[in-house]
Amino acid sequence: MRLLAARGRGGACGAGRPRVITQKGGRGAGAPGSGRRAGAPPDRAARAADGPDRAAPAAAPPDRAPGAALLVAALLGALAGGCGGGEPPAPPPPPPADDPSARRPKAETELPAVEQEVGGLNEHDTTRAFSRLMPKLERCQQEGRTRDERLDFLSGDIELEVHVQRDGGARRAFLSRSTLGDREAEKCIVAAARAAAWPRAEGGEAVAKNAFQLPLRAERDALAWDDTKVASAVKKAARAFRACRRGNRARFEVTAYVDRDGSVISAGVASPGGEADAAAECMVKAAKGLKLPSPGDWPAKVTFAAP
């Protein structure tokens, strides 16, 4: 059995009651060979086909009639409920439990933007900024050489670290490594880096690092000493160096130029983290107070770890 719902001529809900047409077997109402006229009531169509003396058709078998009646009643109730009374439709059911949209927490799409602690710098622009800085670094080296004629061989390797802000300014700069051996020249380099123009940092403060070699300009370099040459003298001055730390446990490396009489011509210190300037200044003073052995007829250069 098939149940077909048809509407009245009005077409829209409320314009006409739906009609239910029951079709049995493979023949529908009004089909060829059915023996009834299209649209005629079932009892009149049966009488027209079988004659006036034929009995009325038997009722549907008990095992089918109740089911068909229930289906017809259910369909009528559903159609009548959807078109009557103007009541608002029921809200859609919640998504099934296995729907990914149901499992996803709402907060996932409402998280605030989080700013990065360390931003980024354009690599090309940063390289250009360091290139523009190089002549100023060489000027600092040259000023150190002319400040004291005994420092004509002033040279060494440095590693410069600059913390750049969003506006392209340097919040701080320091030498994380230096074998230059002259505190005044080192401070000149740091000041030049702080005053330089840097690319704007994206997403927060960014760090720019670069290593430089300030080459020898003199005809002859200082003698290269191993730190064992000064170990005894440094050990004797350990109390002075430790007093400079004031609880700072970072590694400080001191580079010094030693004159022919064993006195220290100049000294430099790499300031770890850029926040130990006072300790570095103190350690340079302690290094200049060292009594070292004579290097002979030519000054020497040595790098050692501060106690």
Look at residue 46 in the predicted model and tell me its pLDDT.
42
Look at residue 87 in the predicted model and tell me its pLDDT.
54
Look at residue 90 in the predicted model and tell me its pLDDT.
63
Is residue 300 a contact partner of residue 258, using CB atoms and an 8 Å limit? yes
- What's the pTM? 0.61
Q: How far apart are CA 251 and CA 234, in angstroms?
A: 15
Look at residue 88 in the predicted model and tell me its pLDDT.
56
Look at residue 271 in the predicted model and tell me its pLDDT.
75
| Residue 284 CB burial class (10 angstroms; 0-12, 13-18, ≥19) | buried
Mean pLDDT by 10 residues, the chain (307 residues): 40 39 39 43 44 45 48 47 52 55 41 46 95 97 95 96 95 94 96 96 94 96 97 96 90 96 96 77 96 96 96
Measured at the CA of 97, the angle between CA 95 and CA 102, to 5 degrees, comes to: 60
Is residue 279 a contact partner of residue 245, using CB atoms and an 8 Å limit? yes
Look at residue 52 in the predicted model and tell me its pLDDT.
43
